[in-house]
Amino acid sequence: MSALARVKRLGQAALAAAPAAAFALLAPFVCAVGRVAAQQSTPPARVAQVVEQVRRAPPADDAYAQALALGYALFNEGRYDESAELFGALAARRPRDPSALYGAALATFDAGRAADAEPLARRAVEAARAAAAVAGAHAQVADVRSFNARTADALVLLAVTIAVRGDDAGALKSAREAAALAPESFDAQFTLGRALYGAGDAPAAARAFRSAVALKPGDARARFFLATSLEQSGDDAGALAAYRELASRQPRAAEGHLGAGVLLVKHGGAEAEEGLKELTRALEINPDLYEARVALGRALVARGRAAEAVEHLRRAAELAPGNPEPHYQLSMAYRRLGRKEDADAESEIVRRIHESRRATPTAQEKPRVAPTP
């Protein structure tokens, strides 16, 4: 499997697969509105009461800040619909407040309404820019930096939301703006790297991911995407070193072993045996890692070890029944084992899958796997 194919499976097409929360976007705005007071779960009835109070009359500054804190607390609890409703009410009261607009966009996106989140994210960007301009006019340097950071956060979220609807160019533009405004932001650099990779610029993506790794050395996702970008750029030595570094720093992250294993198997020779061990290690960590199952099965078939491959390929087919690759590899393994009927049955499955894909090209099934945080 190529580096490009692997990162599309593991990262799901550059930006759209991961929910916005996965980008750790929340922290800057939580800090901006003060402590999150609601450490314990707030009953839905109380949340509804707060929403109604905000809608009925403009809240005082203290009450507004408490409502913002509640909105973020609800988001942290995964109560996205309630959070979005509360932030929406707050944004209606203060339509130029970037914190409320950002919270509304973030919660709306994670509630599964990307189309509704996009205009909110755009408004959050505009509001943060306006606040930065006002601070700049009054020579308030610290405030300018703060609002620039908020603008960058909103731009990252905007990049995610528009990537969902397939606007890769727009997503890249927003990610570039975010990284330019806040080069010290992990989220901005990480999102820029994914957008660049999705645009086919693997070398530039690798540079962005290097910046992200420097900002957050312990983040497994950034290290994985750095390694994959280097591999796609043709820097196999750099990619292998990055995969190994990931495996060393995050021994329970299967993706480091997976990446190293696939790359070593591709090199062949003595390195291939080491690659098989790395793939086996990846499966010891995560037995349901489709990419490791199919890669190990394919490598074993190619090396005349068809009997060993069958177990892995069967499991891969179970994990992704709509993917023809494990069935194709199973047909080859069975033929080498002299099991003609089984081989023919697998070939027939491959034929049916291809026919189904030609009839409904958007119905392809892809396992959704994200690198271990």
Reported as a single tens digit per residue, the pLDDT across 39-73 is 458 999 999 999 999 999 999 999 999 999 999 99
Its CATH architecture, for the domain 17-165, is Alpha Horseshoe (1.25)
Residue 135: the pLDDT is: 73
Residue pLDDT, tens place only, 190-204: 999 999 999 999 999
Residue 239: the pLDDT is: 97
**Distance in angstroms (rounded) separating the CA atoms of residues 114 and 160:** 9
Distances in Å between the alpha carbon of 145 and those of 126, 129, 136, 187? 15, 11, 9, 16
What's the predicted TM-score (pTM) here? 0.77
Q: Which helix (H) or strand (E) holds 148?
A: helix 141-164
Backbone angles phi, psi at 51, to 5 degrees: -60, -45
pLDDT category at 146 given cuts 50, 70, 90 is confident
**373 has a pLDDT exceeding 80:** no
**27 has a pLDDT exceeding 60:** no
**179 has a pLDDT exceeding 70:** yes
According to CATH, the topology of domain 251-373 is 1.25.40
Residue 138: the pLDDT is: 62
If we measure between CA atoms, which residue out of 365, 367, 369, 326 comes closest to residue 349? 326
Residues carrying CATH 1.25.40.10, the chain: 251-373
**Distance in angstroms (rounded) separating the CA atoms of residues 67 and 87:** 8
Neighbours of 40 (CB within 10 A): 8
Distances in Å between the alpha carbon of 355 and those of 14, 318, 326? 27, 20, 17
**Distance in angstroms (rounded) separating the CA atoms of residues 8 and 159:** 18
pLDDT category at 140 given cuts 50, 70, 90 is low
Q: Using CA of residue 13, residue 18, residue 22, residue 24, what is the dihedral sign?
A: positive
**Distance in angstroms (rounded) separating the CA atoms of residues 202 and 193:** 8
Residue 139: the pLDDT is: 58
Mean local confidence (pLDDT), 325-345? 97
Q: Which residue has the higher pLDDT, 11 or 330?
A: 330
**Distance in angstroms (rounded) separating the CA atoms of residues 34 and 123:** 22
**147 has a pLDDT exceeding 80:** no
**156 has a pLDDT exceeding 70:** yes
Residue 144: the pLDDT is: 62
| Percent residues over pLDDT 90 in the chain | 75
Mean local confidence (pLDDT), 265-274? 92
Residue 24: the pLDDT is: 33
**364 has a pLDDT exceeding 80:** no
Mean local confidence (pLDDT), 5-15? 37
Residue 359: the pLDDT is: 81
The structure tokens 């944004």 sit at: 91
Distances in Å between the alpha carbon of 116 and those of 48, 79, 259, 349? 21, 17, 37, 40
Q: Which residue has the higher pLDDT, 40 or 243?
A: 243
Q: Is 368 helix (H, G, I), strand (E, B) or coil?
A: coil
Residue 270: the pLDDT is: 87
**87 has a pLDDT exceeding 90:** yes
Question: Do residues 370 and 11 touch, judged by C-beta distance below 8 A?
Answer: yes
